[in-house]
């Protein structure tokens, strides 16, 4: 009884490297001949597929599109993250930072000091020495006198 | 002397490029599994060719030289750390549906099987990919493959047989999947 060729011997025969006894068996055995033909067909199909697949002429396929989609998703993700972070930062700043009130107070104080300094008869020294409330009261009363045409003598004309 | 030799050398380089560029790019793509990398490798190989030799043309087997340099360039890329990382996180490349006068169903089935064979090929070891590509895609003899890769013929046959066995297994799975549909 003849033993059929192993896969490796069959492949060696395909490579032209099998021994004479194996080749003689291959010629006489229908099963091995069919297996040999199948091996040949398989190798042709594999080689053809790989040649087609690796051909440099083909254009970028779905993989290129996938890359673009992935890149766009990453950019959008970063944008969303940055946007969310900015919103959170603003909210936390509004809760924690008391600066807006401080700024309003400082502005009103600065306004008062400017008014005081710009009014006649008030020097920086007097402002610094005296009580701010008193100075403001004095200044307000002086302004009302200056505005009054009778008090300033404008009515005589 | 060099001035006179330059145009001849240039012409020789251009001829080599026309003759081998596509082949080398395909080889690099099979070994690396990446089209862009393969393009870069092919360019790198021809730059090496220009740098390596700018004198009068010497009679050497340029096809074998170019193949060897391409394989070495692919190996250099594989050795880089980022390459190993990118390979782990990469899907196999997809096949284009090329119109060869077949029905859309046949084209889709053919493309799918080609894609699966290519994916199976990328699962082979790097040595098996090199050996298979040189033997069956480039059409070299096992002796030439052994010379190019600096391996013994026995080693080439061992790698080659394992690769063939694995790829035939993948092909058999594809055929049985087709039969079930």
Characterize A19-33 residue by residue with b for buried, 16 or more Cβ atoms within 10 angstroms of its Cβ, and e for exposed.
Answer: eeebeebbeebeebe
Contact B78, B127 (CB under 8 A): no
- Measured between alpha carbons, how far is A151 from B33 in angstroms, rounded to an integer? 99
* Test the A interface: residue of B21, B31, B33, B94 with most A CBs within 10 Å: B94
Cross-chain Cβ contact B22/A57 below 8 Å: yes
List of chain B residues with pLDDT < 50 = 1-3, 94-100
CA distance B112 to B94: 9
ipTM of the predicted structure? Answer: 0.75
∠ CA A18-A23-A26, rounded to 5°: 125
Give the residue among B115, B118, B121 at the shortest CA–CA distance from B162.
Answer: B121
Distance, CA of B147 to CA of B32 (rounded, Å): 21
Contact B57, A25 (CB under 8 A): no
The residue of chain B nearest to residue A60, with distances taken between CA atoms, is B96
Splitting chain A (157 residues) into consecutive groups of 10 residues, what average pLDDT does each group show?
A: 84 92 92 94 93 68 64 84 85 66 79 80 58 65 57 48
State whether B137 and A52 contact (CB < 8 Å). Answer: no
Q: What is the pLDDT of residue B10?
A: 78
Name, in order, each residue with C-beta under 8 angstroms of B181's C-beta and a sequence gap of 6 or more. none
Please report the pLDDT score of residue B98 as a whole number. 42
Instruction: Determine contact, residues B128/B143, Cβ cutoff 8 Å.
Output: no
> Measured between alpha carbons, how far is A144 from A156 in angstroms, rounded to an integer?
18
The pTM of this model reads 0.59
Q: Does A63 sit within 8 Å of B22, measured CB to CB?
A: no
Residue A131's pLDDT is 65
SS (H, E, C) B105-120: HHHHHHHHHHHHHHHH
- Chain A residue set in contact with B, beta carbons under 8 Å: 7-8, 11-12, 15, 17, 39, 42-43, 45-47, 49-63, 66
Between chains, do B137 and A47 touch, taking CB under 8 Å as contact? yes
Residues in chain A with CB shorter than 8 Å from the CB of B94 are 61-63
What is the per-residue DSSP string for B142-154?
A: HHHHHHHHT--HH
A11·B164 Cβ contact <8 A: yes
- Is the separation of the CB atoms in A108 and A116 below 8 Å? no
Could you tell me if B12 and B60 are in contact, meaning their C-beta atoms sit under 8 angstroms apart? no
Look at residue B165 in the predicted model and tell me its pLDDT.
95
Token pair of A34, please?
A: 């069919």
């Amino acid at each position: 009884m003849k033993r059929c060729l192993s896969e490796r011997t069959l492949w060696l025969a395909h490579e032209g490297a099998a021994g004479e006894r194996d080749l003689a068996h291959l010629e006489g055995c229908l099963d091995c001949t069919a297996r040999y033909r199948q091996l040949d067909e398989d190798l042709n199909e594999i080689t053809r597929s790989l040649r087609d697949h690796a051909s440099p002429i083909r254009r970028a396929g779905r993989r290129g599109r996938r890359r673009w989609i992935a890149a766009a998703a990453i950019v959008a993700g970063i944008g969303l993250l940055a946007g969310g972070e900015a919103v959170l930062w603003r909210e936390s700043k509004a809760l924690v930072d008391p600066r807006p009130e401080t700024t309003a107070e400082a502005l009103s104080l600065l306004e008062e000091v400017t008014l005081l300094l710009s009014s006649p008869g008030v020097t920086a020294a007097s402002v610094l020495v005296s009580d701010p409330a008193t100075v403001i009261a004095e200044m307000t009363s002086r302004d009302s006198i200056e505005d009054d045409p009778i008090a300033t003598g404008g009515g005589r004309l | 002397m060099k001035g006179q030799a330059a145009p001849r050398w240039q012409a020789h380089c251009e001829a080599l490029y026309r003759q081998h560029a596509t082949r080398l790019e395909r080889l690099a793509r099979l070994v690396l599994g990446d089209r862009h990398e393969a393009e870069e490798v092919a360019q790198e190989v021809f730059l090496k060719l220009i740098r390596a030799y700018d004198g009068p043309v010497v009679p050497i087997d340029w096809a074998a030289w170019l193949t060897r340099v391409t394989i070495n360039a692919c190996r250099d890329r594989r050795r880089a750390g980022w390459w190993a990382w990118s390979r782990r996180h990469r899907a196999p490349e997809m096949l284009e549906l090329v119109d060869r006068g077949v029905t859309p169903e046949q084209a889709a089935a053919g493309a799918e099987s080609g894609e699966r064979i290519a994916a199976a090929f990328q699962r082979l070891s790097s040595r098996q990919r090199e050996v298979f590509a040189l033997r069956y895609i480039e059409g070299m003899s096992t002796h030439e493959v052994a010379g190019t890769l600096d391996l013994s013929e026995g080693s080439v046959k061992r790698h080659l047989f394992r690769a063939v066995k694995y790829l035939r297994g993948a092909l058999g799975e594809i055929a049985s999947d087709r039969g079930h549909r």
